[in-house]
Structure 1
Amino acid sequence: MASTYDFIVVGSGPAGSSIASSLSRSPKKPRVLLLEAGGPNADRTLRVDGQRWTTLQNSAMNWGYKTTPQSHCGGRELDYSRGRGLGGSSAINFGVFSVGARRDYDEWASLTNDKSFTWENMKRRFRSLEAFDPTPPPGVDKKYAAARAEDHGVDGFLRTGFPAEVEEDTVPMLELFEKAGFPLNPDHNSGDPIGMALGINSSSKGMRSTAADLLATAPENLTIVTDAPVQRIVLEGKRAVGVESNGKQYLATKEVILSAGALNDPKILMHSGIGPKSQLEKFGIPVVSDVPAIGQGLKDHAFVPLAYSRASGDANRAAFYSDKAAMASALEQWTSSGGAGPWARYGCEMPIGWFKLPSLAASPEFQALPDSEKDFLSDPTVPHYELLSHFPLHWFVPFADSTLNYNCLLVFLYNAQAHGEVTLQSADPAAPLRFDPKFLSTAFDRRAAIESLRDAYRIVRHEAYVKDNVATIAGPKGESDEELLEYWRQSIGSSWHMTGTVKMGRKGGAGEDVAVDSDFRLIGFEGLRVADMSVVPIIMSCHVQAVAYLTGLTCAEKLIAEYQLA
């Protein structure tokens, strides 16, 4: 016999956990079921701050997806990791906690004709989410790390903050950005991310936070079931009445909310007969509703590394990373002390900044964009690219011990114009979709990639940086347009910020590129909503985990109001 609830939420990432937590804690205490495809992720050592870079290598916690061969990137298949288990991708991400540009949210509100998505409304929800520790690490000047109280919250479920301490070369790197003429910004979460800062993390005092923290004190009316992947939605005509997981049905009297992510929401919908008719018919799936937008509109950020081995004495991390006994001892210290020691230091700080590119704005490729896009990209708060320093590349590329003293910067491409897609490749609901982000497929994206890498040379070619270099570990062969672009083609990686595959639009605006209305309803259906990064109609100017939380909180707010749960 099927179990029955008021609401069923599919997926426990930032969006799904926000929805399940908010609904279950509303005054009228509806019965809420949260279904998670993976396990409980209960091992406390998965929260070691300095080991945030390695959890995605845990196959039990990662769907292990790959892209299709990228035709503009040398035919390479790229890692397309997605988190599996309680907390979703927040359990395997790299801990950057950035909220983006205020114009991003106001653009979202404009595209949907719904003020719920304006920066001021999202900022209110952002404050309700955070338990922010504003304390900068010792030795870091406030011009690199300072937050205004009105921009942050202190009473939320998610612990965020600056690192507990920084490595020896962190402050010199921040100073170098200043010398090279990059603007400073002591808080990238104020709604204006432009400038260099010490990064804010989804962690505090050596302990990582994940979306599971929103569920840690769950009320009795919230039921959480792990190891329960959803294969399809149970429909009665055009009304969702439940879901099917591993042959078992769970029923909902009010709503089913999909929050399984931008790569898995389209899969569940298509295997339920909802999606592009041609794809469903190709694999013999009965068509319930032809919705061409599902799976289309995939957007993502991408990056390339710049890495250089450094003179001895630049930092102490080589001695730590090359000594397995030291790392094991540090883990014991972290466990016994509640988060202190070297694992709260090494790999925990991220000098990070978002910047404009005057050279890009002056290019023919920029001028060829639609006027609306040029206006958006010209907004003072909207960046063209990002730089992040102190990325621990050795966790991903095997190094000899002699090269462990190095610096690695990542150069991120923002606001790419390419529109990728996710499509069916099997009638089996356990098989992943086919993921094609179409990186570097537009002239603008290629120009933006070239100009961002060239601007990053202001750092890596600066005399104060070059003097400590020993050798190049990763970088272009030269500085011509073709050499810079070829480096992107051969070295590009996804930032795992997949967005827009079940795109949101205005109410009554169903069409080729819109699947969900501004109340998160799947257009043409009752009792079925989608709420996570798959619905966000633009690629936000940040690392998107904060946006996923805000998307879930916004959906929950609308549901609570509609069903008078307050």
Structure 2
Amino acid sequence: MRYQLFSVLFASTVVSAAETYDYIVVGSGPGGGPLAANLARAGYSTLLIEAGGDEGSNPTYADIGNFIESSNDEATRWDFWVKHSEDPARELKFKHTTWDTGDGTFYIGNDPPEGAKHLGIQYPRAAVLGGCAMHNAGVCSLPQDSDWNHVVNSTGDKSWEAPNWRKILKTIEKNDYLPAGNPAHGYNGWLSTATQDGAWTQNDNSSGVRILKKFTQLIGQDPSAASTLINNDILGDYPNKDQISSLYSMATHSDSKGKRSSPNNYVRATLADPAKYPLTLKLHTLATKVLFSNTSAGMAHAPPRAIGVEIMTGPSLYKADPKHVPGTKGPITQVYANKEVIISGGAFNSPQLLKLSGIGPKEELAKFGIPLVKDLPGVGENLGDNYEGSIMALSTQPLNVGLTTAIFRTANAANKNRNIYTWCGGFSFEGFWPGYPTDYGPNQWECAFVHIGPKSQAGTVKLVSADPQDVPDINFRFFENHGNQDLLEIVAAANLAREAWAAAASPAAPFQELHPCPGPLGKSPNCTDQDQADYFKLQAYSHHATSSCSIGADDDPLAVLDSKFRVRGVNGLRVVDASAFPVVPGAFPSLPTMMLSQKATESILEDAKS
């Protein structure tokens, strides 16, 4: 059974060309969904456009523990097939590379059947009300202060200074894990946050606790305090927090009952009071281009102004949708904005929509016959992501413990800040492919790593045609700049985890490592730092794409946006989503993007009053 929010607002209804709102927001994910709700709550008529449907009442999405099922679900999944490099031979060595067999099934691996078509590396996105915040694991962490201050240093806008972002967190947060009154947190916002139970750490005789204590020692903390440290507030406000290596309690955007909290909830709550909040939602609606006028306020030679959006209506119109039927199109109409158009399609679709609308590198647009509105070479450039990897093993018997979550600095880090976020436990996560993950049975044991502060943001999002239903070409160009440094930092994290696991003792030990050094734990002859770096260079994965429409300085030729999210060289157009970050924000971008949405709300409302 499908769970849908049936409404007269469904985009299957053909609209009049004169349909006009104050604001149009394209995309309902962590950037666009909260922004649209905020603008409506401020009294402005707002249209929110979403290419997918609504699964907010579906337990597969509403229960955050079902994130594996939701991210695999064809009901909302968009499959982007990305590359990690320009080297075809290297791409074929990714062990979860995916092939279309031609009979409706996928082959995963490096020995495909004859005639199979190579697709690439799966990068699932969610076409659904709430965006990728509806199919992720909901992990919440904050960027490093230097990530926020990067914008201050490049643009001079002091409103981006790190302390101001604590106020924004408190505005949107509804903390569900600490007593009311904690000055670091908010309790009246729309986004619930909850944490994990650390009671399992009280059993000093378990192999899992022995590993935990050794891990605690290796990151520079007192092992006897491990059961206390594991309850540390990962979203807390500490002096010099970015330099503190410690255990933490993993936080998620969910409530204490395990119900997902996302932009979906906030948008639906806003729609529930139409008399008070003028928000209109169009589902199953694909934005095909932004519409512009040639002059602004009647003045000659003024920059082009965004005045609306062209839309195509119908389900599964975008070719990344596995349910898309080739040749299917929908009716095309226009909707208009009195004030502004805001693009919030994410790191892949926002640059694509800008380019389809005539904003981007002029040579690329000319190649596809797209009339140039503004030459912005940075659109689709600077694509970045956290590198992710893992060390996986099989224990002799199940450890039956909870998660160990830590943020720490490896000894070889490039600066004084922490550079690794890890979570360890009896699970399997090795990236994405159709039907992921591999289940290694009850004895599986893993530490998964997110590398913080990647040195290389050389990825690109490029058009393959002028057809808005086509999927762009996406290449992350992993490790292209300063790659060896990043690789060795990831290797150092794996070495630390391996050393901690050696403390397990019987009955869980000995461990049999599956990767990156197959064989008895710590005894593989091919486990040098270089051996492991070679492995991670081929097998690292990611799912935190950012920065493809990045904010930057006036004199930066690749800057797409100013510090108020305005697209440079045109009026009435902003981009508010993870593509706006100039650098990858910390370890997980979901919460930072929802904070970004609140920051954009304040900028837009301030401009509306001027």
Alignment TM-score, normalising by the size of structure 2:
0.77
- Does residue 493 of the first structure (1) align with residue 541 of the second (2)? yes
1:390 is matched with which residue: 408, 418, 425?
425
What one-letter code is carried by the residue in structure 2 that aligns with 1:87?
G
Contact 1:296 1:420 in 2 (8 A): yes
Match for residue 291 of structure 1? 376
2:484 is matched with which residue: 424, 443, 446?
446
Match for residue 598 of structure 2? 553
Equivalent pairs, count: 497
Contact 1:475 1:487 in 2 (8 A): yes
Pair 1:530–1:510, CA change in 2 (3 A): farther
What one-letter code is carried by the residue in structure 2 that aligns with 1:504?
I
2:149 is matched with which residue: 106, 112, 132?
106
- Does residue 252 of the first structure (1) align with residue 293 of the second (2)? no
Pair 1:429–1:313, CA change in 2 (3 A): closer
Match for residue 240 of structure 1? 306
Contact 1:241 1:251 in 2 (8 A): yes
Please give the per-residue CA displacement for 1:173-216, whole angstroms capped at 9, x wherever unaligned. Answer: 54342133444571222352542212111112221222212213
User: RCO greater where, 1 or 2, for CA within 8 Å and sep 6 or more?
Assistant: 1
What one-letter code is carried by the residue in structure 2 that aligns with 1:290?
D
Q: Which runs of 5+ in 1 are unaligned?
A: 136-145, 317-348, 362-376
Q: Secondary structure at the match of 1:81?
A: strand
Please give the per-residue CA displacement for 1:283-323, whole angstroms capped at 9, x wherever unaligned. Answer: 1212222110101111101211211112325218xxxxxxx
Match for residue 322 of structure 1? none
Q: Secondary structure at the match of 1:392?
A: coil
CA distance in 2, matches of 1:456, 1:123: 32
- Does residue 474 of the first structure (1) align with residue 515 of the second (2)? yes
What one-letter code is carried by the residue in structure 2 that aligns with 1:487?
Y
Bigger mean CA offset, 44-53 vs 543-552 = 44-53
Cα offset, 1:172, TM superposition: 5.6
Match for residue 160 of structure 1? 193
- Does residue 74 of the first structure (1) align with residue 90 of the second (2)? yes
What one-letter code is carried by the residue in structure 2 that aligns with 1:456?
A
1:225 is matched with which residue: 232, 257, 282?
282
Match for residue 268 of structure 2? 216
What one-letter code is carried by the residue in structure 2 that aligns with 1:189?
L
Contact 2:198 2:249 in 1 (8 A): no
1:132 is matched with which residue: 166, 175, 189?
175
Contact 1:241 1:256 in 2 (8 A): yes
Q: Secondary structure at the match of 2:504?
A: helix
Q: Secondary structure at the match of 2:357?
A: coil
Pair 1:176–1:252, CA change in 2 (3 A): same
Match for residue 27 of structure 2? 11
Cα offset, 1:91, TM superposition: 0.6
CA distance in 2, matches of 1:152, 1:391: 31
Match for residue 427 of structure 1? 466
Pair 1:120–1:484, CA change in 2 (3 A): same
Match for residue 249 of structure 2? 198
Q: Secondary structure at the match of 1:52?
A: helix
Bigger mean CA offset, 36-45 vs 258-267 = 36-45
CA distance in 1, matches of 2:577, 2:281: 19
Bigger mean CA offset, 248-257 vs 102-111 = 102-111
Cα offset, 1:482, TM superposition: 2.3
Contact 2:386 2:451 in 1 (8 A): yes
CA distance in 2, matches of 1:165, 1:487: 33
Cα offset, 1:448, TM superposition: 2.3
Bigger mean CA offset, 77-86 vs 458-467 = 458-467
Match for residue 498 of structure 2? 460
CA distance in 2, matches of 1:173, 1:199: 18
CA distance in 2, matches of 1:201, 1:174: 21
Bigger mean CA offset, 120-129 vs 480-489 = 480-489
Match for residue 226 of structure 2? none
Give the RMSD, CA atoms, in angstroms.
2.4
What one-letter code is carried by the residue in structure 1 that aligns with 2:439?
F
Match for residue 97 of structure 2? none
Match for residue 59 of structure 1? 74
Percent identity of paired positions between Structure 1 and Structure 2:
26
Q: Secondary structure at the match of 1:483?
A: helix
Correspondence list, 1:493-512, <5 A: 493-494=541-542, 496-506=543-553, 509=554, 511-512=556-557
Q: Secondary structure at the match of 2:603?
A: helix
Contact 2:72 2:436 in 1 (8 A): no
Q: Secondary structure at the match of 1:465?
A: coil
Contact 1:116 1:554 in 2 (8 A): no
Bigger mean CA offset, 533-542 vs 453-462 = 453-462
CA distance in 1, matches of 2:75, 2:83: 22
Contact 2:359 2:376 in 1 (8 A): yes
Contact 1:510 1:523 in 2 (8 A): no
What one-letter code is carried by the residue in structure 2 that aligns with 1:473?
L
Match for residue 103 of structure 2? none
Pair 1:313–1:482, CA change in 2 (3 A): closer
- Does residue 88 of the first structure (1) align with residue 131 of the second (2)? yes
Contact 1:384 1:414 in 2 (8 A): yes
Alignment TM-score, normalising by the size of structure 1:
0.82
Higher helix share: 1
Cα offset, 1:132, TM superposition: 1.0
Contact 2:550 2:581 in 1 (8 A): yes
CA distance in 1, matches of 2:391, 2:180: 29
Cα offset, 1:113, TM superposition: 1.2
Contact 2:32 2:577 in 1 (8 A): yes
Q: Which runs of 5+ in 2 are unaligned?
A: 1-15, 95-119, 222-228, 295-303, 313-331, 430-434, 519-525
Cα offset, 1:480, TM superposition: 1.5
